[in-house]
Amino acid sequence: MIVRFFHQMGSPRYFYNVAGKMIPWFAISFLLTLIAGIYYGLFVAPPDYQQGESYRIMYIHVPAAWMSMFIYMVMAAAGLISLVWRIKITEITIISSASVGASFTFLALVTGSLWGKPMWGTWWVWDARLTSELLLLFLYLGIIALYSAIEDKRVAARAISILALVGVVNIPIIHYSVEWWNTLHQTSSVTMTGKQAMSTSMLIPLLLMAISFKLYYGAVVLMRARAEVLERDRNTRWVRELVEGEMK
């Protein structure tokens, strides 16, 4: 049954309908987790013993930084799948994700510098983590630029698949930069295994925000993918029927 679901998801028409039903669920659960996360983060979680209240920007900054890498990994995986199996939907996933990823990367950089000014006394340092995150932004922009430069969108999608795969070398550099280089940026406080360096009351809102950002990405990428599917399949019958149905 699952196999059949994946086969059907490869069809643009089926994808369009299923995505349309999924978007409200993503959007509602995004709003709920966002409100809960902001409430716990800003009102319930205790102030930090070192940084006082200003650490709370972390609830935007850290999930945004996670998203910047997560989305890139999604794009690289989708790129591999589209190069091997030439599935239209994964091709669309890559380009629909690119601008969302770029905006999360930008958000992480901006909130980071806003946090850095009171904590480190500077907006920007050429620290390993900051520099590699900036490079990630340029990788996203390069992917968007290459996609828009190639006329044939199926060819463009394959070209950016390769680019996404080549650029994936940057992800481990970002991830381990705080461990490899002892620079200004603090090391990661959240780990999958072992003892947490953060108290639970601070960790829960952070995870809520992380889930909320992921749901947001899910909703937005589905919306963008739906639009892209329509544009690519504009000459097919199902799109014509759909549009005629809307017109009535």
Partner 1 sequence: MSTLSLTSAFTLLLKRDLLLAYRRRAELVNPLLFFVLVTAMFPLGIGNDPKLIQAVGPGVIWVAALLAALLSLDTMFRSDFDDGTLEQFMLSAHPISVLVLAKILAHWMITGLPLFIAAPLLAMMLNVPTDAIPTLMLTLVLGTPVLSLIGSVGVALTVGLRRGGVILSLLVLPLYVPVLIFATDAVKTSIVGIPTSAQISILAAMLVGSLVLAPLATAASLRISLS
Answer yes or no whether residue 56 interacts with partner 1 by CB under 8 A: no
Q: Which of residues 80-109 bind partner 1 (CB under 8 A)?
A: 83
Q: Candidates 92-100, 169-177, 186-194, 198-206 — which segment interacts with partner 1 by CB under 8 A?
A: 169-177
CB of 34 to partner 1, least distance (A): 32
Q: How far is the C-alpha of 96 from the C-alpha of 186, rounded, in Å?
A: 32
Answer yes or no whether residue 167 interacts with partner 1 by CB under 8 A: yes
Give start and end residues of each alpha helix (H) in the chain.
2-9, 12-39, 58-85, 88-120, 128-149, 153-167, 170-180, 200-232, 237-247
CB within 8 A of 177, min separation 6: which ones?
Answer: 128, 129, 132, 185
Residue count of the chain: 248
Closest CB to partner 1 among residues 136, 239? 136
- Exactly one of 87, 173, 223, 230 binds partner 1 (CB under 8 A); that residue is 173
Pick the closest to residue 167 from 231, 91, 75 (CA basis). 75
Q: Using the structure block, give the residue that is written with the tokens 């097919």.
A: 236
Q: Using the structure block, give the residue that is written with the tokens 């905006």.
A: 103
Q: Output the six-digit token pair for 24.
A: 């409200």
Q: Candidates 25-33, 69-77, 158-166, 198-206 — which segment interacts with partner 1 by CB under 8 A?
A: 158-166
Q: Output the six-digit token pair for 124.
A: 């920007």
Q: Candidates 25-33, 84-92, 95-103, 150-158 — which segment interacts with partner 1 by CB under 8 A?
A: 150-158
- Exactly one of 71, 89, 98, 163 binds partner 1 (CB under 8 A); that residue is 163
What does the binding site for partner 1 look like in residue numbers (CB under 8 A)?
83, 131, 135, 138-139, 141-142, 145-146, 149-150, 155, 158-159, 162-163, 165-167, 169-170, 173
